[in-house]
Every structure is written in structure tokens, then in C-alpha cells.
Amino acid sequence: MRIEHLLKIIEKDPNFYPWSTEKDCVEFIATLIIITQSKIILELGTFLGYTSIYLLKSIPSDGIVFTVDILDQFYSKYFKLLSKKDKNRLTFIHDTTVNALKYKLNKITFDAIFIDADHEFKSCFSDFTYSLCHVKKGTILILHDALNEATPGVKQTINILKGINFIFKNSLFEIISFSTPPRKFNVPASGICIIKILSETTWLYFRLALLLFQIINLCIPNSPSVNIQSILEKHVSQFIKGKNIF
Ligand SMILES: C[S@@+](CC[C@H](N)C(=O)[O-])C[C@H]1O[C@@H](n2cnc3c(N)ncnc32)[C@H](O)[C@@H]1O
């Protein structure tokens, strides 16, 4: 089936609203993919496959989209309707995002990564942190629901990234958030955040910052609260201790 036709069918799926990414955001992401000439794309959080299938239209014929979801029942019903040629350009990974990033996407470096799985702070932050193992200078990371009042964990993640970036004189990332049109009256707008990786060593400095805050937290539990430190102490240190990301 042609992609355009399949997308129209997905838009009519009873589950499309509110969990699928809205069409104007997907169009924006697709344009970003085109202008940055991205070829190798990763999506965290597939759901019905609306974004991953849409992005097949935006990448060149030798490009590839990887998409990860812990559930496959939604996605599989649409994936099987794709043409053989399109199926070959789309790889679905049925696992948690962290498992996929840690164990299944070994050595793959992406041009663009769309983070749209679990929106709780711990998950969103760990998705971002592990995604940094798969970036290079110029990779674009896109966070959906960046300004959504219903998903404060995404905004918290972005605030921490801004704080760590500030410590390194804004040399790690370029970060910009946009508000997006609300999908329905009285429903909060999602918002979208674009993060561009500025250096090949961004991942290293980011991890060093997390390690530093972990050490500060261990050595000086009652140290005077510096803005970023207090956020990290509150939200990140427990996560680091629990998940041992170093
Ligand atoms: C908001 S939907 C994704 C929408 C999709 N990106 C789109 O454009 O239509 C979030 C998806 O993330 C998946 N998800 C949530 N937590 C996850 C995790 N830890 N690992 C993998 N997938 C997860 C859910 O099963 C759900 O399908």
C-alpha cells in the first residue's frame, strides 16, 4: 500500500487521538529531517507507527528508520500493509527503549532521534542519556510534549539539559522549544524541543557532569543549593544510583 494512503487509514484509528503525534508536529519533524539531510533515524515510542511511516517519505531511498516500542500490537497491524520496499527501510524493535539503546542498536549512529516513549521524568531523562551513545556532531534530537502541562517530566529533562549545557558554556547542545497548536479546545498544546549536538564529545561531558553531581551528592549532602545541583540532587541522583549508568 502507498504510504500516503496508509497514513490516512492510521489517522482514522480510534486510538490515534490522543497518543499519536499530531500531524502538524510530524510534518515539522519531516521537514527538519529533509533540511538536515538526515538518513538514519531513530524513534523511541512507535505506537501506531504514524511518525515512523510518515518519515519514510522524508528520507532518501537509501535511508532507514528504526523505531522502538515495548508494545507491538498497535504497530504490527499497519506495518504489514507497507510495500516490501518500504518494509525494508523500517526496522521495528520490540523492547524497552533503554534495552534497545543499550543492547540492540550497538554501534549505530543516528542523524536524528525522536524521543516520544514514556514521558515520566526518569524515563525521558534516561532515554535522552542513553541516546547520547548514538549521536555525532550535528545529530538532532527531538522531544515531543516538551511544553505539555500534562507531561512535566519532559520539561524537567529539558531544564536539566539546559543547566548542564550552561555549565559547559553552552558548548554541548543548541536547544530550542516551540509551542504547537493545541489539538482540541481546552487540551494543552504538546510543544516540541529540538536539540542539536554541537560536539563529538558532548556525550562525554554530559556523563562527566552527571558523575560530578553524583559525587557532590555523596560527599556534601547538605551543600548550598546551586540551581542545577538542587534539581539534579532531587531527581537525577536517585536515578543514577538505581540504574548505574556509568
Ligand atoms: C506517545 S506514544 C508514541 C507516539 C508515536 N511516536 C507517534 O508518533 O505516533 C508512546 C509509546 O511509547 C511506548 N512506550 C512507553 N514506554 C516505553 C518504554 N519504556 N520502552 C518502549 N516503549 C515505550 C508506548 O507503548 C507507546 O506506544
Measured from the Cα of 67, ligand 1's closest atom is 6
Q: Are 89 and 56 in contact (CB under 8 A)?
A: yes
Find the CATH number of the domain harbouring 56: 3.40.50.150
Domain-embedded: residue 58: yes
Rounded to whole angstroms, what are the CA distances from 206 to 69, 100, 168, 214, 238? 26, 20, 9, 13, 17
CB 145 near ligand 1, within 6 Å: no
Mutate to test the pocket of ligand 1, among 22, 47, 119, 151 (most ligand atoms within 8 A of CB): 47
pLDDT for 222 equals: 57
**pLDDT beyond 50 at 246:** no
Q: Count the domains in the chain.
A: 1
Edge-to-edge strands, sheet with 90-94: 90-94, 64-69, 40-44, 112-115, 140-144, 192-197, 173-178
Nearest CA to ligand 1 atom 20: 96
CA atoms lying within 13 Å on the CB side of residue 104: 17
Site of grid cell 536539566? 160
Strand partners, 140: 112, 196
- H/E stretch holding 67 reads strand 64-69
CA of 17 to the centre of ligand 1 (A): 14
CA angle (197 as vertex; 57, 155 as ends), nearest 5: 85
Domain-embedded: residue 215: no
Domain-embedded: residue 218: no
CA of 229 to the centre of ligand 1 (A): 30
Under the banding of pLDDT at 50, 70 and 90, the label for residue 24 is very high
pLDDT for 214 equals: 73
CB 116 near ligand 1, within 6 Å: yes
Q: 60-82, pLDDT tens digit by residue?
A: 999 999 999 999 888 889 999 99
Domain-embedded: residue 210: no
Q: 25-56, pLDDT tens digit by residue?
A: 999 999 999 999 999 999 999 999 999 999 99
Neighbouring residues of 124: CB distance < 8 A, sequence distance ≥ 6: 115, 117, 118, 143, 153, 154, 156, 157
pLDDT for 220 equals: 61
Q: Domain range holding 82? A: 3-200
CB 93 near ligand 1, within 6 Å: no
pLDDT for 128 equals: 96
Q: 100-155, pLDDT tens digit by residue?
A: 999 999 889 999 999 999 999 999 999 999 999 999 999 999 999 999 988 999 99
Q: Are 196 and 229 in contact (CB under 8 A)?
A: no
Q: 166-196, pLDDT tens digit by residue?
A: 989 999 999 999 998 887 766 778 999 999 9
pLDDT for 6 equals: 96
Domain-embedded: residue 46: yes
For residue 200, the tally of other CB atoms under 10 A from its CB is 11
Domain-embedded: residue 183: yes
Nearest CA to ligand 1 atom 9: 20
CB 118 near ligand 1, within 6 Å: yes
Domain-embedded: residue 188: yes
Domain-embedded: residue 222: no
Q: Does pTM top 0.85 for this prediction?
A: yes
More confidently predicted of 219 and 124: 124
